[in-house]
A and B are shown apart, each in its own frame.
Chain A
Amino acid sequence: MCILDVEASLEHFSQSKALHADTMLVVVEPYFRSLETGRRMVGLGKQLAPERLVLVANKVRDERELKAVEQLAASEGIAVAGAVPYDERLLDAERADSALLDFDPHAPAVTAIEELARELLATDGDSDGGVMPGRGALVRGAAELGRDG
């Protein structure tokens, strides 16, 4: 299993390392600008055609904000795989130079990411990761190293 934390900028996105992923998580905040960026990234993601393309809502404060992300997902025909609440503990952890998981294992954001992990595993169609055609060293290496067990 391999997790790529990809560069922020859109320019590097369309032809980048993300190409080699079988699952793409587009993280969005429930604000207009972030949602619009998310929509563009989903559009680029569709061109790359990963097996799974899903949204993850982050810093969600209430139902209304979650609805805004769900609306984007519905209009793009994709799922919201997880919703992580706005969590002050994350800022506290950063101030303490600590990972959230070490700082507060029971923080609401951790619980939500746990649910996201469960959801991703439950809907993983190809757990050995060997199907992607891929190109370049990254995907070959990742496929070899990513085999579970």
Chain B
Amino acid sequence: MKLAVVGKGGVGKTSISGTLARLLARRGHRVLAVDGDPNPTLALSLGVSPARMESMPALSSELVERTDEGYRLTRTLEELCASHSLQAPDGVTLLAMRPAQQAGTG
């Protein structure tokens, strides 16, 4: 199942996504949660501490590019997850589509 959760800002989609991800994982499913928001908050609703979230490397500009269609990856998710994801509670893997700050990246 590949599930997209959409809705107007503030509608509560991140709270629902985070809780849903963990509940599905508890039912024995392997869950990858992807935060597609430039200001990532999914980590918090998954129960990942802000400090751990900060320690996660942002996607560098060669890994993710911003297009008219949104963010686009230049690698497969599997490759990215090897280096740019962290384990959230209940075994959920979190990948934040947070691009690195452009400053100094050329």
* A72 at the B interface (CB under 8 A): no
B35 partner, pick from A5, A18, A145, beta carbons under 8 A: A5
By a CB distance below 8 angstroms, the chain B residues around A132 are 2
Q: Give complex CA distance A94, B9 in Å.
A: 17
- Give the one of B11, B72, B80 with max A CB within 10 A: B11
Query: What 0/1 readout, one digit per residue, does chain A (138-149) give for beta carbons within 8 Å of chain B?
Result: 111111111111
Nearest CB in chain A to that of B85: its residue: A145
Q: Are B16 and A6 in contact (CB under 8 A)?
A: no
Interface residues of A in 73-110 (CB under 8 A from B): 84, 90, 97-102, 109-110
Q: Are B16 and A146 in contact (CB under 8 A)?
A: no
A101 partner, pick from B4, B37, B47, beta carbons under 8 A: B47
Query: What 0/1 readout, one digit per residue, does chain B (20-49) give for beta carbons within 8 Å of chain A?
Result: 111110011111111111100010111101
* B104 at the A interface (CB under 8 A): no
Contact of A117 with B20 at beta-carbon distance under 8 Å, contacts A1-B32, A3-B33, A127-B1 already known = yes
Q: Are A4 and B34 in contact (CB under 8 A)?
A: yes
By a CB distance below 8 angstroms, the chain B residues around A4 are 2-5, 34, 36
Q: Give complex CA distance A15, B68 in Å.
A: 8
Contact of A90 with B76 at beta-carbon distance under 8 Å, contacts A113-B20, A129-B2, A148-B29 already known = no
Nearest CB in chain A to that of B36: its residue: A6
Q: Give complex CA distance A97, B81 in Å.
A: 25
By a CB distance below 8 angstroms, the chain B residues around A16 are 36, 69-70
Q: Are A21 and B17 in contact (CB under 8 A)?
A: no
Q: Are B20 and A140 in contact (CB under 8 A)?
A: no
Q: Are A146 and B1 in contact (CB under 8 A)?
A: yes
Interface residues of A in 1-27 (CB under 8 A from B): 1-9, 12-13, 15-18, 20-27
B interface residues with partner A (beta carbon < 8 Å): 1-24, 27-38, 42, 44-47, 49-50, 68-81, 89, 93
Can you list 24 A-B contacts with CB-CB less than 8 angstroms, sorted by A residue number? A1-B32, A5-B13, A6-B5, A8-B8, A8-B9, A9-B9, A18-B6, A21-B2, A25-B16, A26-B7, A27-B12, A27-B16, A34-B11, A58-B11, A59-B11, A100-B15, A101-B19, A116-B20, A117-B20, A117-B27, A141-B80, A142-B34, A146-B1, A147-B30
Since A2-B33, A121-B27, A146-B2 are in contact, a sample of 13 more A-B pairs with Cβ atoms closer than 8 Å, ordered by chain A residue number, is A3-B5, A23-B4, A25-B3, A25-B16, A27-B12, A27-B16, A37-B8, A113-B16, A138-B77, A141-B76, A142-B32, A146-B1, A147-B30
